[in-house]
Amino acid sequence: MEVSALGFLLLVVAGSSAGDEAREAEAVRALLARLLGPGPAAAFSVSVERALAAESGLDTYRLSGGGAGARVQVLGSTGVAAAAGLHRYLRDFCGCHVAWSGSQLRLPQPLPAVPEELTEATPNRYRYYQNVCTQSYSFVWWDWARWEQEIDWMALNGINLALAWSGQEAIWQRVYLALGLTQSEINEYFTGPAFLAWGRMGNLHTWGGPLPFSWHLKQLYLQHRILDRMRSFGMIPVLPAFAGHVPKAITRVFPQVNVTQMGSWGHFNCSYSCSFLLAPEDPLFPIVGSLFLWELTKEFGTDHIYGADTFNEMQPPSSEPSYLAAATAAVYQAMITVDPDAVWLLQGWLFQHQPQFWGPAQVGAVLGAVPRGRLLVLDLFAESHPVYIHTASFQGQPFIWCMLHNFGGNHGLFGALEAVNQGPAAARLFPNSTMVGTGMAPEGIDQNEVVYALMAELGWRKDPVTDLGAWVTSFAARRYGVSHEDAEAAWRLLLRSVYNCSGEACSGHNHSPLVKRPSLQMVTTVWYNRSDVFEAWRLLLTATPTLATSPLFRYDLVDITRQAIQELVSLYYEEVRTAYLNKDLVTLLRAAGILAYELLPSLDNILATDSHFLLGNWLEQARAAAVSEAEASFYEQNSRYQLTLWGPEGNILDYANKQLAGLVANYYTPRWRLFMEMLAESLVQGIPFQQHQFDKNAFQLEQTFVFSAQRYPNQPQGDTVDLAKKLFLKYYPQWVAGSL
């Protein structure tokens, strides 16, 4: 029997007990104690009552109390709702701020009273978080302490639906062994830790592997803790399911099996890609799919929502709607064989990534192959390329409006805040809309925190923010714990420039020449006026006498200085290119010297002043996940590959670029110096610049970095304010005078 999309999805979490309410309230109280300390936490009373949301069925919180001697009362219909209510109180009544880079939690005394009882219900069922890629670009080396922080952040931001994909390879190993594969065949199949996301989506196999035995044990342990904490808040963890991809070795065990070898992915050859896809009609399909889900749910329990992506960035073997419907139905059937209440969470990225393949008939075949309400689609990049508009609201299947925002975990100030602000409300008003939630689906986190603060807030708003200028002004005041005219003016300039991305030049991926392998064809156009970035830099520095004691201010000062240097690198690169084309050796050497011998070392120095921008920290996380020195070196190399070459031949070169102290000094800088030397040499010798030869030489430098065992500091060095001022005094006057 078909049920309405929203109706079924509400049933998925129905029927919780008073015991769940008590557990969720206790989880929020524990979060409060971690956040504020036991003393300040005692000023709050937290409780959870499902009945608060009885009428709408949607997460609801109620705030009351506070003032002299009175406790602040926080009531939520779920633990997540109570945590979101607590966050609302801290944000709007206390002027506090919680972010990845740190928190500003100066509580006024006494705690401000809630003037009138405040009740807020979310407009939609879900607030979703993560992208399959986030697991590799950001979470890969995390220990429990870091996961605990993240789940707290999720709860405070009202997230109630999130991927929980750690430990699945340990389950797959059990399944493959049961099917008759050898341990060595399994080891050969899995990717290394930094590339598991693409192994899970069938894009890759083998590359960066094998996974050590200890990896499986530690990830199983971690997954149990992640799930326990998520569920304690009343969140719905999304577990993985079988999408149809199998190891090649399955053909040894079952010689008659019907598999199709897919095409290559991401410039990898078939040594690492061209995965094997089990035919939907093969009798082995339901066996593998249900065996995996049975083992998985036996180990971890279930909340009945599962993620699987069969054709992520891979063209299906046939465009026939009958094939696509069968492939989709087979995945779903394997789910409901084990869990009759299963709902399939599908990343809708495939529909917008290859629009020439996914015509109306092909999209309809996938969407129609699962009963309505049992397929929950993530409109993954809706702030830029919404798919719901072109598919009649996913032909009646429920969907979540997601902001993707970031690719590869790049640094670089970027956002499309106006599109983000307007998007969810527009999707709700779309004719016959089946939108059931909002989501944040970045490939990598720890950047552009203002964008995520807005998106999280929109999950609880029925309408867009009416005045983004006023909103970003209050964001700055909360972030620094005090209102400062110059700092707030700086943020308004950033809002109208880097955070107002629109038009053709708009890209969520950082293509700055700074982080790309140099050539004479690099694009330096941006969607904003660079003057706004330099002026925001000036204004933040003006605010330093008042705000320099704020760690979040110092983090932002590093970030804006980093962005200003990124802009200067583009401008000096343009000067170098023009000088080369004009055969002007003197100008080329002057500009090249500034870019490669002044700007880049200065960038490395300013990044080194903040722990969030240290390569040493990044690599130390990887090494800390190991149980032996050999394993630590292996994990470190995985990590270095991901940041740079990505694949053995630079297959997805610099996609996951970061601006980290150490990476700038030992990876980007040598590459730029080589480029400048070869350009100058070609002018002196009167021969054309040999890009092919440069690429070969640059590849040697890139490999040298990947294979290096050099240690890097994991503690900050130098003073952010002092270095930022020196850089500003050196370059800003030249920028203003137009004499760079």
pLDDT digits (tens, 9 = 90+) for 323-376: 999 999 999 999 999 999 999 999 999 998 999 999 999 999 999 999 999 999
Is 506 inside any structural domain? no
Asked if 419 contacts 384 with a C-beta cutoff of 8 angstroms, the reply is yes
- For residue 219, give every residue at least 6 positions away whose Cβ sits within 8 Å of its Cβ, in sequence order, or none: 166, 167, 169, 170
Q: Which of 206, 194, 220, 218 is nearest to 635 (CA)?
A: 194
Domain-ending residue, one of 77, 102, 121: 121
Residue 112 above 90 pLDDT? yes
Res 567: pLDDT? 97
**Least confident stretch, 2-6, 419-423, 527-531, 713-717:** 2-6
- Whether omega for the bond prior to residue 210 falls within 30 degrees of 0, making it cis, is yes
Res 734: pLDDT? 87
Which has more confidence, 624 or 511?
624
Tokens of 621: 């996380």
Res 5: pLDDT? 46
Specify the CATH number for the domain of residue 542.
Answer: 1.20.120.670
Do 53 and 187 fall within a single domain? no
> Which CA distances in Å does 323 have to 274, 352, 363, 365, 587?
19, 20, 12, 8, 61
Do 116 and 131 fall within a single domain? no
What would the pLDDT profile of 470-480 be if each residue is shown by its tens digit?
Answer: 999 999 999 99
- Backbone CA torsion sign across 539, 544, 546, 549: positive
Is 492 inside any structural domain? no
Do 107 and 94 fall within a single domain? yes
Phi, psi (5° rounding) for residue 647? Answer: -120, 175
* Residue span of the structural domain in which 714 resides: 529-737
Res 120: pLDDT? 96
Q: Mean of the pLDDT values across residues 513-519?
A: 97
Is 483 inside any structural domain? no
Domain-ending residue, one of 462, 487, 502: 462
Do 59 and 173 fall within a single domain? no
> How far apart are the C-alpha atoms of 53 and 326, rounded to whole Å?
39
> How far apart are the C-alpha atoms of 196 and 208, rounded to whole Å?
9
Specify the CATH number for the domain of residue 109.
Answer: 3.30.379.10
Average pLDDT, the chain: 95
Residue 509 above 90 pLDDT? no
Q: Is 105 exposed, middle or buried (0-12, 13-18, 19+ CB in 10 A)?
A: middle
Residue 502 above 90 pLDDT? no
CA atoms within 13 A on the CB side of 345: 31
Res 456: pLDDT? 98
Is 384 inside any structural domain? yes
Is 308 inside any structural domain? yes
Q: Which of 621, 640, 607 is nearest to 709 (CA)?
A: 640
Domain count of the fold of the chain: 3
Specify the CATH number for the domain of residue 315.
Answer: 3.20.20.80
What would the pLDDT profile of 594-627 be if each residue is shown by its tens digit?
Answer: 999 999 999 999 999 999 999 999 999 999 999 9
> Which CA distances in Å does 396 have to 111, 432, 501?
47, 8, 31
- Backbone CA torsion sign across 457, 131, 645, 350: negative
What would the pLDDT profile of 366-415 be if each residue is shown by its tens digit?
Answer: 999 999 999 999 999 999 999 999 999 999 999 999 999 999 999 999 99
In which band, very low, low, confident or very high, does the pLDDT at 505 lie, cut at 50, 70 and 90?
low
Is 473 inside any structural domain? no
Is 653 inside any structural domain? yes
Q: Mean of the pLDDT values across residues 678-695?
A: 97
Do 377 and 438 fall within a single domain? yes
Do 108 and 201 fall within a single domain? no
Tell how many helices (H) and how many strands (E) occur in the chain.
Answer: 31, 17
Do 87 and 134 fall within a single domain? no
Is 248 inside any structural domain? yes
DSSP characters for 464-500? --S-HHHHHHHHHHHHHTS--HHHHHHHHHHHHTTTB
What would the pLDDT profile of 262-273 be if each residue is shown by its tens digit?
Answer: 999 999 999 999
Do 31 and 80 fall within a single domain? yes
Domain-ending residue, one of 442, 462, 482: 462
> How far apart are the C-alpha atoms of 485 and 106, rounded to whole Å?
20
Do 429 and 565 fall within a single domain? no
Beta-strand pair 60-65/72-76: antiparallel
What would the pLDDT profile of 566-580 be if each residue is shown by its tens digit?
Answer: 999 999 999 999 999
Res 697: pLDDT? 98
Which has more confidence, 280 or 737?
280
Do 169 and 71 fall within a single domain? no
Res 672: pLDDT? 98
Q: Mean of the pLDDT values across residues 427-444?
A: 97
Do 223 and 366 fall within a single domain? yes
Beta bridge pairs of residue 261: 276
> How far apart are the C-alpha atoms of 565 and 180, rounded to whole Å?
56
**How large a percentage of the chain has pLDDT more than 70?**
97
Do 146 and 251 fall within a single domain? yes
